[in-house]
Structure 1
């Protein structure tokens, strides 16, 4: 069972912050062999939230929820990551569903926009996102923009 926490940056404990950065670096930098600016200055902004999914004491999933105007004109979800050893059980779907629910709670009536790795387009479509751009390279990885209209 996953325990979810939604925490603004200023309320993350030192341990939570370390776990969050470690998971993101393990997935995006090490696994994907992609050196990129992980610490982009957005984590600490007002109204940015970090969704953390724990299995016991281990952080197994995370995402970042950003208000409109931060990364996109719309509310956005980014830095969606799951621990490699926890994959294959539907954890990614649980994470995205929780992230969407939290966005809808925090910013009702707002659409959600994401920059998705192109190979995950079908995954995001299962959660109501529609592709809104052609493929573009971000840090050498093919991406597309996707939008989920508000409910």
Structure 2
């Protein structure tokens, strides 16, 4: 009988990475629709998601697809004059939550970061989850759109 340690881990889902210029219009539309569904509709935070940073030349969009449709995404931006990277817009479709897709995206983003610091503003109820990836609180918490956030940093 196999032991729990003998059970192979499921393979990482394929993570797609693209700059704004590399995104086809259908994928871009679906990524932003997913973000709007999660942040604007589900979390009831009416805000301007399209803030101009998606199109920055150094921005990277990461996502995972199921049946050809994006179901989890995040955005990776240069921060602090290029000395750090910023993870943001982490969103997973309700139907895909709890399946490890956001974790796969985070691992891919950290791989792209290399030795640079990585910062993010975690929704505070997820701070422990981010801590599992090496992030630590880095500054005073704040409330944005009615949701408590914790600034966090992972040193490179």
TM-score by structure 1 length?
0.89
What RMSD in Å do the two structures reach over aligned CA positions? 1.6
CA distance in 1, matches of 2:65, 2:94: 14
Gaps of 5+ in 1: none
- TM-score by length of structure 2 reads 0.86
From 73, 77, 85, the counterpart of 1:75: 85
56-65 or 133-142: bigger deviation: 133-142
For structure 2, list consecutive stretches of 5 or more residues without a partner in the other structure. Answer: 1-11
Q: Shift of residue 73 of structure 1?
A: 6.3
Partner of 2:76: 65
Contact 2:83–2:117 under 8 Å retained in 1: no
Q: How many corresponding residue pairs?
A: 145
Q: Quick check: which has more Rg, 1 or 2?
A: 2
The list of structure 1 runs, each at least 4 consecutive aligned residues, that deviate by more than 4 angstroms after superposition, is: none
Q: Specify the SS of the correspondent of 1:11.
A: coil
2:141 is matched with 135
Question: Where does residue 35 of structure 2 map in the other structure?
Answer: 24
Structure 2 SS opposite 1:30:
helix
Which residue number in structure 1 is paired with residue 151 of structure 2? Answer: 145
